């Protein structure tokens, strides 16, 4: 038995965090850096950050494209975290490169959206000098192979390795006393009205308080605590293609396109530079039955049947009555089976690219947006207070970028609610909570 508290052993701890992704790991770091407290992070995989926290673009985003009203809980976190991540990369000697981003508009209608972005950026904390709008000729001077009506140029966007960041935060958190319980899955929960008992296969862990940061499974965990029974979720895989080495330098800036369907949580096509020197194009949004179906379309039969039954009986059924959504999903399927269809999307703003430039698929990632009882996508992250628990649900992009500041905000919220009644014991910290 691994000791969590000397007098009790692993059977009991102050706070249990479900999910060893970037969010759960950073929350564990803040708690362990501030309090004399026993914290256990429960991760079903053999290491932290094996899913969304590593399977992302690696872009350190600036929040110019986030509506400060609809995404109020997450809009400012990327700006504050950008500085924090850069400091962390320097301290841990992790790769970091500032490359900038061009968000391209193909017509005057999309240009008006860029003008909104120009207003949103400063409202989310950005300096006005960090973003400006360029016309097509100015874009062409910056990136000769990019053709567009206009573009918003963000100078501060960088690229990094969030998997390495998460493992680095884990080291810092462990140094403060946090225990990471890997290869361990939460099977069920009981006694939530008192001190929750997490059933972990062959053993049980009793915690005074539970924080749910389980990513694609966070809604399922919240329901185990009796919360949001009328909400459902869908899983969408985003696929990429890697440019062959001789074509990597066609464009030297991240290129995003203005979303055609802003009410749906799908990313429009982009050209992404990776910290390892690769360039990729993508993504699409292919429905899959689980947060881990990284290839194929069915996965294991049991999971597929279970998700199909959930769709038929949940709020997702209402979403499927939306013809715009169904039509969009059909197009996404087509882009998955046809490389040419995927590349055609990117040719609209980088006409030089050809399907033969791409011979290998990139790393696929999966988003899990939550669907309301009315059958609509929930636009912002959901923070739910349950019995002796706190749940972060629908935490999607740019979640990796915003994790340091957002997780600090979670800790502050728990403090304000009086849910962290532990002795303060501040340790040497890489970041300062008081500055956020």
Residues, the chain, total?
436
Q: Which of 150-159, 309-318, 419-428 is predicted least confidently?
A: 309-318
Amino acid 180: pLDDT: 98
Better-predicted residue by pLDDT, 28 or 305: 28
The mean pLDDT of 69-76, rounded to a whole number, is: 88
Q: Which helix (H) or strand (E) holds 319?
A: helix 316-319
Give the residue from 178, 174, 167 showing the smallest Cα distance to 14.
178
Three-class DSSP category at 23: helix
pLDDT, tens only, 345-379: 999 999 999 999 999 999 999 999 999 999 899 98
3-state SS, residue 201: coil
What is the pLDDT, as a whole number, of residue 10? 47
127, 128, 129, 130 alpha-carbon torsion, rounded to 10°: 60
| pLDDT tens-digit map of 37-55 | 999 999 999 999 999 999 9
Strand residues in 351-417 grouped as ranges (E): 358-361, 365-367, 370-371, 382-386, 389-393
Supply the pLDDT for residue 436.
Answer: 76
- Tell me the percentage of the chain whose pLDDT exceeds 90: 78
Judged by average pLDDT, the poorest of 127-141, 235-249, 259-273 is 259-273
Question: Which of these, 436, 381, 431, lies nearest to 70 by C-alpha position?
Answer: 381
**pLDDT at position 201, please?**
82
Q: Mean pLDDT across the stretch 315-339?
A: 82
Min mean pLDDT across 254-263, 327-336, 391-400 is at 327-336
pLDDT reading at 318 higher than 90 = no
Alpha helices in 35-131 (DSSP H): 77-92, 108-123
**For residue 8, what pLDDT is reported?**
43
Instruction: Compare 193 and 84 and report the one with higher pLDDT.
Output: 84
Give the pLDDT of residue 389.
Answer: 97
Q: What are phi and psi of 61, to 5 degrees?
A: -80, 150
Q: What is the pTM of this model?
A: 0.93
């Amino acid at each position: 038995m691994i000791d969590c508290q000397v007098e009790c052993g692993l059977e009991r701890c102050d706070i249990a965090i479900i999910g060893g992704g970037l969010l759960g790991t950073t929350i564990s770091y803040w708690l362990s850096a501030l309090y004399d407290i026993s914290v256990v992070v429960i991760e079903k995989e053999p290491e932290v950050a094996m899913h969304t926290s590593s399977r992302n673009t690696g872009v350190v985003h600036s929040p110019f494209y986030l509506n400060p009203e609809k995404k109020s809980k997450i809009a400012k976190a990327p700006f504050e975290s950008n500085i924090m991540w850069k400091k962390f990369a320097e301290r841990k000697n992790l790769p970091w490169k500032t490359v900038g981003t061009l968000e391209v508009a193909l017509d005057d209608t999309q240009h008006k959206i860029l003008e909104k972005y120009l207003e949103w950026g400063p409202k989310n904390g950005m300096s006005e000098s960090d973003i400006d709008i360029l016309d097509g000729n100015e874009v062409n001077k910056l990136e000769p192979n990019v053709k567009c009506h206009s573009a918003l140029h963000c100078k501060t966007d960088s690229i990094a390795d969030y998997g390495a960041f998460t493992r680095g935060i884990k080291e810092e958190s462990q140094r403060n006393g946090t225990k990471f319980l890997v290869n361990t899955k939460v099977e069920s929960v009981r006694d939530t009205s008192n001190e929750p008992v997490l059933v972990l296969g062959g053993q049980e862990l009793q915690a005074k308080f539970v924080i749910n940061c389980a990513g694609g499974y966070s809604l399922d965990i919240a329901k185990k605590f009796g919360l949001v029974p009328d909400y459902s979720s869908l899983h969408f895989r985003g696929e990429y293609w890697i440019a062959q080495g001789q074509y990597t330098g066609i464009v030297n800036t991240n290129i995003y396109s203005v979303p055609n369907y802003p009410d749906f949580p799908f990313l429009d096509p982009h050209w992404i530079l990776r910290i390892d020197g690769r360039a990729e194009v993508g993504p699409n949004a292919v429905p899959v039955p689980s947060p881990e179906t990284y290839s194929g379309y069915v996965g294991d039969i049991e999971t597929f049947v279970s998700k199909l039954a959930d769709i038929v009986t949940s709020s997702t059924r209402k979403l499927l009555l939306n013809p715009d959504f169904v039509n969009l999903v059909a197009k996404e399927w087509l882009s998955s089976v046809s490389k040419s269809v995927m590349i055609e999307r990117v040719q609209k703003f980088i006409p030089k690219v050809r399907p033969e430039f791409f011979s290998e698929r990139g790393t696929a990632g999966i988003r899990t947006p939550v669907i309301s009882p009315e059958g609509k996508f929930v636009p912002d992250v959901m923070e739910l207070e349950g019995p002796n628990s706190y749940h972060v649900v629908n935490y999607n992009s740019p979640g990796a970028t915003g994790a340091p500041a957002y997780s600090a905000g979670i800790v502050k919220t728990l403090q304000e609610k009086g849910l962290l009644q532990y002795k303060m014991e501040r340790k040497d910290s890489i970041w300062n909570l008081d500055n956020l």
